[in-house]
Structure 1
């Protein structure tokens, strides 16, 4: 097993840090000088900075800058060092790791959303996505109904949570709507009637996870209608269907998108 594969806290340097941290806490408990105790606490923080940064790095590439994550982890480390009671538990790492990890998760919950879904969706989103990913990897059914049964949730809650996947870091608006129509992007399918651009930007971000759920055909229809400004009859000619069928397809697709946005933010529709 390589050194990098050894769990945090079990590498030789981690064991040395653990022993040194325990020694410093003993010194801090023995001194009667508040100034000296603060100095020792600062030394403990410096000694365990790598632990905080390692924990922060495990949350990288999720739409939040690594610098922000490290700042949260380090602030937590500074906060908990004076609170640690070495007389009750000599393993500072067992106390620090859950505290730092918990603050990182709360930071994501409160500040990591590019588009903020309802609180309930925020609370269950990571659990639902994890269950969905496990089901797909094992080849088991990954339907909202099946996941809802496993997690004791409502299917509508699971669906909303799955749709919220991507709200941390939405796809670029330059992503083509369809591989066969590279000139049209996701942003091209939306108008920009709002002079401030704020509502349009929010709508585009909210549409990102919803667009992923559409079939290739549905995305092509949206591209033809809103990117290439084709009439319903022109779309019908390209698809080999009637104009009436195109009208019904557009109504269904737009209805699906509106319903999805309503699940993410009931105030948006």
Structure 2
């Protein structure tokens, strides 16, 4: 028999109403307006608890109003799935359901980068451990070894969780780097395609053809394209006319280009020869 103190004792949370009888009635009612109205009353009665749970996830990059909407959705699912015949209190069933809905929201909709589920879990454990350790050591950031000891993870796992802390959101490429001067941004630190790569490809393509040229023509091409000499200077050094140098350069370039194109062209398809009967 319950004592007077037990009967008048308050629930740990003021937002946990006594709705056991209402849930038993809901389970017995058939689908219809009466059951729908009772379901709505139960959702409204437990809505303050859902909003309290949503408040635990504030300051994580999502507005409190959106978090409350997600928590309300989790509450509706809890009301629809709760079975009073199992004997458990509704709150013990609803709290994990609502909290799981909030965590799924962060997991599926709030990450800018795609991070595996396991790494997301590591992030949560490392984040909680870091906050606890910073409260006990005067605000200093704990080391990877400290986080691993606190969470029971390996140092590699703790390091992966720390790296994931910065993967929840992404900076714009126009964002100025910390400590940078003159507006130096992330975009300024990115590389770009090297135009010399095409030159390397072209040189390798014409290398076989160059070996087949006469010595004087190879010398003229070297002087023109590698030593950047003018045609007049080449003609003067070789004792020939500038017009002759120009004709040789044009003829050699045309020959090398045609040969490179022939070698790069795909081989013609030859149909298979039929086997003799």
| TM-score interval, normalised by the smaller of the two chains | 0.5 to 0.7
Classify the secondary structure of the residue corresponding to 1:10.
coil
Aligned position for 1:184:
184
Q: Which of the residues 86, 101, 110 maps onto 2:84?
A: 86
Q: Which of the residues 97, 109, 128 maps onto 1:111?
A: 109
Aligned position for 1:252:
none
Aligned position for 1:10:
13
Aligned position for 2:23:
25
Classify the secondary structure of the residue corresponding to 1:185.
coil
- Runs (5+) with no aligned partner, structure 1: 1-7, 194-269
Q: Report the TM-score, using the length of structure 2 for normalisation.
A: 0.54
Report deviation, 1:179: 3.9
Looking at structure 2, the residues matched to 46 and 112 of structure 1 have their Cα atoms a distance apart, in angstroms, of 27
Report deviation, 1:125: 0.8
* Higher percent of residues as helix: 1
Aligned position for 1:132:
130
Pick closer, same or farther for the CA change 1:51–1:191 going to 2, 3 Å: farther
Assess if the C-alpha contact under 8 Å between 1:148 and 1:154 holds in 2.
yes
Looking at structure 1, the residues matched to 159 and 60 of structure 2 have their Cα atoms a distance apart, in angstroms, of 21
1:153 pairs with 2:150: no
Pick closer, same or farther for the CA change 1:178–1:41 going to 2, 3 Å: closer
Q: For 1:1-269, what aligned pairs fall within 5 Å after superposition? A: 10-11=13-14, 14=15, 18-19=17-18, 21-31=19-29, 33-35=30-32, 36-89=34-87, 91-139=89-137, 142-171=142-171, 175-179=175-179, 181=181, 183-190=183-190
Pick closer, same or farther for the CA change 1:111–1:180 going to 2, 3 Å: closer
Looking at structure 1, the residues matched to 180 and 66 of structure 2 have their Cα atoms a distance apart, in angstroms, of 39
Report deviation, 1:44: 1.0
Looking at structure 1, the residues matched to 59 and 172 of structure 2 have their Cα atoms a distance apart, in angstroms, of 15
Structure number with the bigger relative contact order (C-alpha 8 A, sep ≥ 6) is 1
Assess if the C-alpha contact under 8 Å between 1:25 and 1:86 holds in 2.
yes
Q: What are the Cα deviations for residues 165-192 of structure 1, in whole angstroms up to 9, with x where unaligned? A: 1322345656542446262334443358
Q: RMSD value over aligned CA atoms?
A: 3.2
Pick closer, same or farther for the CA change 1:152–1:57 going to 2, 3 Å: closer
Assess if the C-alpha contact under 8 Å between 2:75 and 2:98 holds in 1.
yes
> What is the aligned length?
181
